[in-house]
Amino acid sequence: DWILHNEEFIREEELNISKEDRGYQFGDGIYEVVRVYEGNLFTAEEHIDRFYESAEKIKIVIPYTKDVFHKMLYDLVEMNDINNGQVYVQITRGHALRQHHFPESTSPVVVAYTKTVERPLELMRNGAKGAFIEDVRWLRCDIKSLNLLGNVMAKQEAHEKGSFEAILHRGEVVTEGSSSNMYGVKDGIIYTHPATNLILNGITRRVILQLSQNLGIEVQEMAFTKAQALEMDEFFMSSTTAEIMPITEIDGNPIGQGIPGELTKNLQQAFEANLK
């Protein structure tokens, strides 16, 4: 497979990253995961906009225009002949002598690669389990940063409990998943945490808000508590790779009927129709 390294398409064996790359040493960089359906980059513009926004928030200047960047990602998918899969792309502040503050001069390093991935259809149909985990991450969760230790530790804890995803909460308030956004449905209304500094404003989340509007489903971007989560009629999560995934139980407690809810299934259908 081809890999994008800065402006060049190279082979994996040719990739050479410095021992003092700031991404490697400090997690000093940002990333995106873009889904590929039938050879097309799904919601590419939204992901590219967020990539540039995240970079700007940590003062990394991306060395090419959005159009050039879009074309390079598209070419990579085509060169690797990816039909259904994903593109992973990251940019770091580059390499410099190890010191915490930004180096005087450095060039950012971009790496992008592709991978074939199937849609998690089975779990999407049957639903997944969630586990409450305390959200101990920093206060800039709106940045899609390479610093994922808080997310990794939470996902691992959920995994050890036999759950698919960690449902993060700050005190009593549910924020998001370790790599997804979270939603509860009560009396036909969808509740989800507002897009503040405490969550990543997911691209799938934005698609869901738009689809809900089209379907005439009310959405309240309003935080809810762990106790309220357990009282929801339906619960689901969303991400680029998990799409819209029903959560049928949390810490062993069934949510609603303990099976994927009707509203969740309607949204999944609308999402599916939107891919064509």
**Quick one: which of 92, 163, 175, 179 contacts ligand PDD (CB under 6 A)?**
179
**Quick one: which of 110, 203, 245, 250 contacts ligand PDD (CB under 6 A)?**
203
Helix (H, G, I), strand (E, B) or coil at 7: coil
Q: Is 80 near ligand PDD (CB under 6 A)?
A: no
Angle at 72 between CA 12 and CA 271, to 5 degrees: 100
Tell me which stretch binds ligand PDD (CB under 6 A): 112-120, 152-160, 233-241, 262-270: 233-241
DSSP string, 67-98: HHHHHHHHHHHHHTT-SSEEEEEEEE--B-SS
Task: Decide if 186 is catalytic.
Answer: no
Question: Cβ closer to ligand PDD: 85 or 96?
Answer: 85
Question: Cβ closer to ligand PDD: 7 or 56?
Answer: 56
Binding to ligand PDD by CB under 6 A, coded x per residue (else -) over 7-26, reads: --------------------
Q: Cα–Cα distance between 276 and 273 in angstroms, integer?
A: 6
Q: How far is the CB of 6 from ligand PDD (least distance, A)?
A: 22
CB 132 within 8 A of CB 250: yes
Tell me which stretch binds ligand PDD (CB under 6 A): 172-180, 212-220, 246-254, 256-264: 172-180
Question: Cβ closer to ligand PDD: 93 or 205?
Answer: 205
Strand ordering across the sheet containing 109-116: 8-11, 2-5, 109-116, 85-92, 29-37, 40-41
Going from the C-alpha of 236 to that of each of 186, 188, 218, the distances in angstroms are: 12, 14, 16
Angle at 180 between CA 185 and CA 57, to 5 degrees: 120
How many CB atoms neighbour CB 22 within 10 A? Answer: 25
Residue from 144, 161, 226, 265 carrying the catalytic annotation: 144
Q: Is 240 near ligand PDD (CB under 6 A)?
A: yes
Catalytic residues, by residue number, are 144
Task: Point out which residues bind ligand PDD (CB under 6 A).
Answer: 33, 151, 176, 179-181, 200, 202-205, 238-241
